[in-house]
Structure 1
Amino acid sequence: MSRPNRPLRMMLVPVLAMGAFAACGSDSDDASDSASDSISVPADTGDLTGLTVTGDVGSAPKVDISDDFAADGLAYETTVEGDGLQITSDDLSSAFIQYVIVNGNNGKTVYSTYDQDSPEVLDISTDGIPAALSEPLTGQHVGSRVVVTDTVKDIFGSASSTSLNMKNKDPLVLIFDVIGPQADMSDQAFDTEASGWLPGLTLDDDGVPTAMDFTDVPEPTGKLEVDTIIEGDGEAIKKGDTVMANYLGQVYGADDAFDSSFDGTPAAFQIAEGSLIDGWVEGLEGVTVGSRVWLQIPPGKGYGKSGNSSAGIEGDDTLYFVIDILAVSS
């Protein structure tokens, strides 16, 4: 199993570290403070004259830019309003998105997740996230398309202008398709008691799993074991799909987890050989969105004889995972 690097996050990390988003970080904080159960879809703001975006949500958009277009501060418009789950700055703050970044000067695509078939997860509650990302997405429903414009500097900071081969004042166009989450599992309580080969779970004060308890759990079978304890009614995962998921992973008999996303941001993984360990690819195929599944993965379908030293995994370790499937993109 591995967590792939994501271009949008890669562009954000260096400028976040340098504090380049200090000015618009306050805007993001204001958006978080105002979030509530009655949060509304953000109203369109600014002028998008000269910019036309067509196509269906879930497929690469066609972008036409005329001579009338100019980015004059942050502007955004919800061109398609979805009716799925709503992205908030509270429990559902992570959006599963496909997006396209376009040079506003010439209409050329700078980057597209559609080209890479690699949707990403963006947590709009992240400290320091620029207003151009958090403000237009807060309150959106899954199934929406949002068009955002601003300058390179105001979106990504001056440190990113070189990597984009653009000037700080140049206009950028971002088109976000919100494709997930497709299931809200925040109210699905975790079983803390061991059952059969399933270990118990240690939870924090918020009911989030932090570790597994292997007390009285039998020795691993040496085979890939899969147990879906909550079966969702969403789309079934196929090989090649990208899934949005929360997970906790631990070695059999260990006291602590070696990795978890439950206490942070859900992860996006492509279910494909070479992208993940075989146990994930084989174990998750056919699992439906909204499901909670346990995997027991023998070494041969995990990291093999070499193990994974960075995670403290030896070559003969059996891996256990509990996974919540939140969305799938084919």
Structure 2
Amino acid sequence: MRRLALALPSLALLSALLLSGCTGAAGEEAPRVGGPFGARPSVVFPDGGPPASFRADEPAAGHGPRLRRGDVAIVQYTAHVWDGAGNRLVGSTFTRGAPAAFPLGALLPGLDRALEGRAAGSRVVAVIPPGDGFGARPPDGVGRDETLLYVVDVLAVHPKGASAGGPAGSLAGVRVTGGARPVLTVPRGGPPARFAARVLSRGAGRPVAAGQLVVVQYETVVWGRRAVVGGTWSSGRPEAFRIGEGGVVRAWERALSGVPVGSRVLMVVPPAYGYGAAGDARLGVTGSDTLVVVADVLGAY
């Protein structure tokens, strides 16, 4: 996967964050957001209900890479329903103790609009009316006619098409080309019975640890059929998942734990380390399929 891009605001911007507020259209008062970048913000709502229109403010502007459609942002965020009464909290990474991945272009329309073009290191405050929110099927805790308030700290930006790069390599007869986008060549004949993994190129970042959010580019191929059954290289948009919590197949846990950010890893994955005897019908993987995966480790948080 790709390299981590992290940028923090200047000291002057941090001091400005201690108490920030703004005035919207026609003198509407906005919530006051306090606290430093990267820390859980305090939010003080004005009296009355929310404005009817979308609004996005940037109380702190970062200086890192800018977020474009198809990129993935690593963020800390807090989200409230702004109803003029309890203004209840409906989501926060700070309660989980770990950041989240926001794929730009696949978020709420209001969040996409608020975050596009923002730089890593920025804090963004977005007022999202129902028309720019969840639409007709909101999640539990949010009404379809309720306005949302998001406070989002953009910790890092992973661009579309990002890559760890590296030289060509091989494992158990599988060959991988070098360069920005690796190409897998799987040999004829049956696959090995045992799981195997090899770091083809070792990055210079910190090792991946259990509990972290890991950002990757990858491609998965079925050994016998040589069919691509999953991955991000075709779209160019990285994906993120958490290591060490049972949310990914066993191969990912074993192959990536302890690997430095910026590495390229090749895996041969028998069913016991992949989708097991049940397979995954959605991906077209049967219970007897051995998989081959090449993955670039772009970031870990």
TM-score range, shorter chain: 0.7 to 0.9
Q: Which amino acid aligns with 1:172?
A: L
Using the aligned pairs only, state the percent identity. 26
Answer 1 or 2: higher relative contact order, Cα 8 Å, separation at least 6: 2
Instruction: Name the structure 2 match of 1:279.
Output: 251
2-structure distance, mates of 1:223, 1:162? 42
2:153 to 157, 171, 177: 177
Cα distance in 2 between the residues matched to 1:233 and 1:296: 24
Gaps of 5+ in 2: 1-20
Task: Give the deviation of 1:80 after TM superposition.
Answer: 3.0
Alignment partner, residue 84 of structure 1: 64
The question of 1:96 aligning with 2:67 is answered no
> Amino acid of the residue matched to residue 178 of structure 1?
V
Mapping of 1:34-183 within 5 angstroms?
Answer: 47=24, 49-67=29-47, 70-89=50-69, 93-104=71-82, 105=84, 106-116=86-96, 119-125=99-105, 130=109, 132-157=110-135, 159-160=136-137, 163-166=140-143, 168=145, 170-181=146-157
Does the CA contact (< 8 Å) of 1:245 and 1:323 recur in 2? yes
Displacement of 1:246 in angstroms is 1.7
Which of 156, 170, 181 is the aligned partner of 1:195? 170
Q: Does 1:224 align with 2:195?
A: yes
Provide the secondary structure at the position in 1 that maps to 2:286. Answer: coil
Cα deviation, residue 272, structure 1: 1.9
AA aligned opposite 1:181: V
Distance change in 2, residues 1:230/1:184 (3 Å): farther
Cα distance change on mapping 1:133 and 1:53 into 2, 3 Å = same
Counterparts of 1:267 and 1:256, CA distance in 2: 20
DSSP-derived class of the 1:135 partner: helix
Q: Is residue 219–residue 293 contact of structure 2 (8 Å, CA) maintained in 1?
A: yes
CA–CA distance in structure 1, aligned partners of residues 165 and 48 of structure 2? 53
Question: How many Å separate the matches in 2 of 1:155 and 1:120?
Answer: 18
Do the aligned partners of 1:77 and 1:146 also contact (CA within 8 Å) in 2? Answer: yes
Compute the TM-score of the two structures, normalised by the length of structure 2.
0.75
Q: Matches of 1:294 and 1:233 in 2, distance apart?
A: 18
SS at match of 1:136: helix
Map 1:275-314 → 2, pairs under 5 A: 275-314=247-286
> Does structure 1 retain, via aligned residues, the 8 Å contact 2:115–2:124?
yes
CA shift for structure 1 position 324:
1.7
Structure 2 CA distance, aligned partners of 1:321 and 1:255? 12
Q: Is the 8 A contact 2:71 2:238 kept in 1?
A: no
Match of 1:38 in 2: none
Which amino acid is the alignment partner of residue 253 of structure 2? V
Q: For the residues of structure 1 that align with 2:254 and 2:39, how far apart are their CA atoms?
A: 27
- Name the count of aligned residue pairs: 275
* Post-superposition offset of 1:189: 5.2
Q: Do 2:22 and 2:29's aligned partners in 1 also have CA atoms closer than 8 Å?
A: no
User: Using a 3 Å threshold, how does the CA distance of structure 1 residues 111 and 279 change in structure 2: closer, same or farther?
Assistant: same
CA RMSD of aligned residues (A): 3.5
- One-letter code of the match for 1:142? A
> Deviations for 1:67-93, whole angstroms, at most 9, x for unmatched residues?
17732422222233334332123xx62
| More helix per residue | 1
The alpha carbon displacement at 1:273 in A equals 4.4
Q: Secondary structure at 1:156's aligned position in 2?
A: coil
**Aligned-residue offset at 1:195:** 3.0
**CA 1:165 to 1:310, structure 2 compared with 1: closer, same or farther past 3 Å?**
closer
Q: Please give the alpha-carbon distance, in whole angstroms, between the structure 1 residues aligned to 2:101 and 2:139.
A: 25
C-alpha offsets along residues 156-178 of structure 1, whole Å, 9 cap, x if unaligned? 33x1468554362x432111222
User: 1:228 & 1:184 partners in 2: Cα distance?
Assistant: 23
Task: Check if 1:269 corresponds to 2:247.
Answer: no
Q: Which residue of 1 aligns with 2:218?
A: 247
Distance 1:280 1:328 in 2: 14
Distance in 2, matches of 1:140 and 1:198, equals: 44
Q: Return closer, same or farther for 1:300/1:123 CA change in 2, 3 Å cut-off.
A: closer
- Deviation per CA, 1:259-286: give whole Å up to 9, x if none: 1122233222111242112211111111
Letter of the aligned partner of 1:143 in structure 2?
Answer: G
Aligned with 1:259: secondary structure? strand
Shift in CA distance, 187/318, structure 1 to aligned 2, threshold 3 Å: closer
Relative distance call for 1:134 and 1:270 in structure 2 (3 A) is same
User: Which TM-score applies when normalising by structure 1?
Assistant: 0.69
Please give the alpha-carbon distance, in whole angstroms, between the structure 2 residues aligned to 1:252 and 1:308: 15
Query: What are structure 1's unaligned runs of at least 5 residues?
Result: 1-43
Which one-letter code corresponds to 1:197 in the other structure?
Answer: A
